Amino acid sequence: MSASTRNIIAWTLQVLLGLAFIAFGVKKLTVLPTTVAMFNNLGMPSAMAYIIAVAEVLGGVGLLIPRFTRLAALGLVIIMLGAVVMHATKIPGGIAQGVPAIVCLLLLLAVLWLRRPVAATA
Alpha-carbon dihedral angle through residues 50, 51, 52, 53, given to the nearest 10 degrees: 40
Confidence at residue 115, expressed as pLDDT on a 0 to 100 scale = 94
CA-to-CA distance for 41 and 44, rounded, in angstroms?
Answer: 7
pTM of the model: 0.91
- Cα(6)–Cα(91) distance, integer angstroms: 36
Torsion sign, CA atoms 66, 71, 72, 76: positive
pLDDT at 122: 58
Q: Confidence band (pLDDT; 50, 70, 90) for 92? A: confident
Residue 2 — pLDDT band, cuts 50, 70, 90? confident
pLDDT, tens only, 58-90: 999 999 999 999 999 999 999 999 999 999 998
What are the backbone angles phi and psi of residue 83, rounded to the nearest 5°? -65, -45
**Per-residue confidence (pLDDT) for residue 121, from 0 to 100:** 66
